[in-house]
Structure 1
Amino acid sequence: MRDRLLATTATAVLLAVGAAVPAPAALPTPAPTAAGAAQTGAAAATVPCPRAVAPHVSRPPRPSPPPAVPQERVVGGPALATSGLVVPAGAPAPPKVTATSWLVADLDSGQVLGGCGPHEYGTPASVQKLLLAATMLPRLDPKRVVTVTAEDMDIEPGSSAVGLVEGGRYTVETVWLGLLLNSGNEAANVLARLGGGAEGAAGGVRAMNEYAHQLGALQTHAVTPSGLDGRGQFTSAYDLALIARVCFANPTFRRYALTERTQIPAQPAQKTKGFQIQNENQLIYQYPGALGGKTGFTDLARHTYVGAAERGGRRLVVTLLGAEPQPMRGWEQGAALLDWGFTLPASAAVGRLVEPGELTAAPTVSPSPRAEPAAARPAAASSSVAGGMAIAWSVAGLVAAAAVLLMAGLLWRRRATRRGAP
């Protein structure tokens, strides 16, 4: 159902360096309790996630996910390879939510504080717009004025739109605000087209997938730039945290995400008036220290959510997939998980968020046992120096040989001249 090339390439890289990404040594080792055994990868039964009971909702069957890839499920640490709950030993129980999977992480240190099925596949809905933002914000000039095309307006009837009009002219910043405040699907098409170059929106989606791969979000595959459902489109709570971490590192994104309202300008040529839009993410109004985030919903994905907040000098992010709005809405479930995360000590962790490019970096050759320590002389540099010395000696040898031949030739010529040779 999905293009597995990116995941296969990353798997090969992980195998080439000898193992999947382990939890770093700096992370604390949990006590050998039942939860701790699950965290440390020891044989233990899956710990069920605390679930809130939601009213029965008639919904279409969820799409079948791709086959699980073991190397992808341990990205960030072996404790994260579970379909159940993973929390630090001794941590208080997290709140009951209806989300099928979730994760709480520290935006700055990258430590994963806990999660439920963090590497389980889920359908993203509009939180996929964060991948679009992470990919395209550095590429597009916010002051650039763009014209909306008929292709941009090709969105699913009844889906979320900010109200751009075909032929209308807007700054890129206005389009970004329409995307992040009102989840405009036509805005997503505009931005993907602009960032996709000659390939248009298709090129934008391709760039999104390439960037997800670079970030280490190996379970993410975008089919639409907006998050509208598409065949083979998936992500995970862990991948969303990687993507959100990049977004919140960008000051322009942070400013957009905290914008409460903005004005969409009138389009006289299209005879449309200007109007105001408001940020739909209630976290920024209701949660002290909120940094913003993104809501999402489709019939297949159900409710999805990404939110971040700062408290006591710590910045945490929560991601959740497959939630129902009762008894708590998606942002409220996110807020409850953020509250839980802030109760944990700063040293608590069950894994980590990998760094951009970490999984795609080319493996280096380890030095031989007799080589100098890496700190004194990196293996790659040693090889380069040795290669350079070998070349230098080879060149010196050739020069010496040429000099000998030249001298011999001159001596023969002098003797030949003395004998009257031509």
Structure 2
Amino acid sequence: MTIGFASRAAVSTCALCTTGLLVLAPAAAAADPGPPASLLFRPGTHVHPRPGAPEVPDLSARAWLVADARTGEVLAAHDAHRKLAPASTLKTLFAITVLPILPAGIQHRVTAEELADIGPGSSLVGVAEDRTYRVSDLWNGVFLSSGNDAVRVLAALSGGWRATAQRMQAKARALGARDTRVKSPDGYDAPGQVSSAYDLAVFGRAGLRNPEFARYCIREETRFPSPNGGFYRIVNTNRLLTGADGVEPYRGLVGIKNGYTSNAGNTLVAAARRDGQTLVATVLNPRSDDGLAVYEEARALLDWGFEAGGRVEPVGSLDALRAGLLRGPEAGSAAVPAARRDEPDRAVSWTIAGAALLGGVGTAVFLRLRWGPVPKD
């Protein structure tokens, strides 16, 4: 029997190492997607403990989720499909969409136009016009410094700002992330831009399957080209990884991405590996006055997930809403009404998906013919 908690008070009563380790085998398409997806659409906290299971931590976040990254099984969640501003955690979707089509060794001289329209107050890595960068430099700027300037240039290289947002939207739909609406690929606050704890976990899990993504998101520090020649040091802003500002580094952490905007509050997608198991956790907008609470609440979720392994029944699956996997009660009660409300979007997104696939493949072939194989960064 699944226990659904409608209030946080009730919760307390039940309460990259090496790249090879980070690349997770995709779940089989024919696998059972688990309990009905509709459960996670219900408000409150959901967990299905067996005897002896630890209590779920009492968190202040508006939404959170913890799942097994290999199987996609959701171990526990709170308001998993609540639509909230994602801040820079949306860069996980940007990365899984754009990384496959831009070889890391491409060198590009940045233009003023590519740096135009960066939102005021954006996090920046320091990309300068008329300076030449490798694509791998720009990705370091995205993953470590959350640089919206680096995102702008990478988006320009991959077809432009609007086209990149459309490809990201199509990618999200293909992965079954149906809560996400992409308006600004860097995660900067924009009217109508939302995601959810569920969707961000989907993106983080997909990212870990890409060796390049896995290498970037585990990197604690590196050098970044300075405008006047030479390099300067940049450090990952994910304090759960680096231990900055008094946050204790999390043992076994393998990334992934943190974020903050005034609208979204603090957000985090985190993944950790212990004893052969990889967990992914998302924490959105803790209501604690402590600005570092997002890291401590993610720590509590990951600790609980590792301790609860084998002692809880899954309450959902990160694969449940992927194309071709909808069936049974969830097809009628949860996903179909949402799809009907978005029917005009659906026709557009499938068109975009087809165009993005053809365009992405063509771009990748062209770039590899021109610049050769992707070097190791």
TM-score bucket of the superposed structures, by smaller chain = 0.7 to 0.9
Structure 1 SS opposite 2:144: helix
RMSD: 2.4
**d(CA) in 1 for partners of 2:212 and 2:203?**
15
In the alignment, structure 1 residue 278 sits paired with structure 2 residue 239: no
Residues 1:76 and 1:326: Cα distance change in structure 2 (over 3 Å): farther
What is the TM-score of this pair, normalised by structure 1? 0.66
Preserved CA contact (<8 Å) 1:220 1:233 = yes
| Matching of residues 8-407 of structure 1 within 5 Å | 30=1, 36-38=2-4, 46-48=6-8, 77-90=37-50, 91-153=53-115, 154-196=117-159, 200-267=160-227, 271=228, 273-285=230-242, 286-324=249-287, 326-327=289-290, 328-346=292-310, 348-354=313-319, 357-359=322-324
Displacement of 1:324 in angstroms is 4.3
Preserved CA contact (<8 Å) 2:177 2:321 = no
Structure showing greater radius of gyration is: 1
**d(CA) in 1 for partners of 2:77 and 2:304?**
11
- C-alpha distance after superposition, 1:116-168 (max 9, x if no partner): 00011110000000000010111110000122222332312222000110121
- Residue 281 of structure 2 aligns with an amino acid whose one-letter code is V
- Residue 126 of structure 1 aligns with an amino acid whose one-letter code is S
Structure 1 SS opposite 2:61: coil
- Residue 234 of structure 1 aligns with an amino acid whose one-letter code is V
Residues 1:219 and 1:87: Cα distance change in structure 2 (over 3 Å): same
Spell out structure 1 runs of 4+ moving beyond 3 A. Answer: 47-52, 324-328, 359-362
Preserved CA contact (<8 Å) 1:214 1:359 = no
- Residue 304 of structure 1 aligns with an amino acid whose one-letter code is T
* Unpaired segments ≥5 residues, structure 1: 1-29, 31-35, 39-44, 53-73, 363-422
* Unpaired segments ≥5 residues, structure 2: 13-33, 243-248, 328-377
Residues 1:278 and 1:325: Cα distance change in structure 2 (over 3 Å): farther
**d(CA) in 1 for partners of 2:35 and 2:119?**
35
Structure 2 SS opposite 1:182: coil
Structure 2 SS opposite 1:120: coil
Displacement of 1:361 in angstroms is 8.9
- Residue 110 of structure 2 aligns with an amino acid whose one-letter code is V
Number of aligned residues: 295
Displacement of 1:313 in angstroms is 1.0
Displacement of 1:293 in angstroms is 1.0
Residues 1:114 and 1:235: Cα distance change in structure 2 (over 3 Å): same
**d(CA) in 1 for partners of 2:97 and 2:144?**
18
What is the TM-score of this pair, normalised by structure 2? 0.73
- Residue 216 of structure 1 aligns with an amino acid whose one-letter code is G
Percent of counterpart pairs with the same letter?
38
Structure 2 SS opposite 1:241: helix
- C-alpha distance after superposition, 1:374-397 (max 9, x if no partner): xxxxxxxxxxxxxxxxxxxxxxxx
Preserved CA contact (<8 Å) 2:86 2:259 = yes
- C-alpha distance after superposition, 1:29-80 (max 9, x if no partner): x3xxxxx353xxxxxx72436799xxxxxxxxxxxxxxxxxxxxx9962321
**d(CA) in 1 for partners of 2:90 and 2:68?**
20
Displacement of 1:97 in angstroms is 2.3
- Residue 218 of structure 2 aligns with an amino acid whose one-letter code is L
Preserved CA contact (<8 Å) 2:285 2:294 = no
Structure 2 SS opposite 1:87: strand
**d(CA) in 2 for partners of 1:280 and 1:252?**
19
Preserved CA contact (<8 Å) 1:111 1:350 = yes
Residues 1:115 and 1:144: Cα distance change in structure 2 (over 3 Å): same
Structure 1 SS opposite 2:49: coil
- Residue 348 of structure 1 aligns with an amino acid whose one-letter code is E
**d(CA) in 2 for partners of 1:253 and 1:313?**
20
Preserved CA contact (<8 Å) 1:194 1:201 = no
Residues 1:325 and 1:138: Cα distance change in structure 2 (over 3 Å): farther
**d(CA) in 1 for partners of 2:325 and 2:111?**
36
Which structure ranks higher in relative contact order (CA pairs < 8 Å, sequence separation ≥ 6)? 2
Structure 1 SS opposite 2:89: helix
- Residue 92 of structure 2 aligns with an amino acid whose one-letter code is L
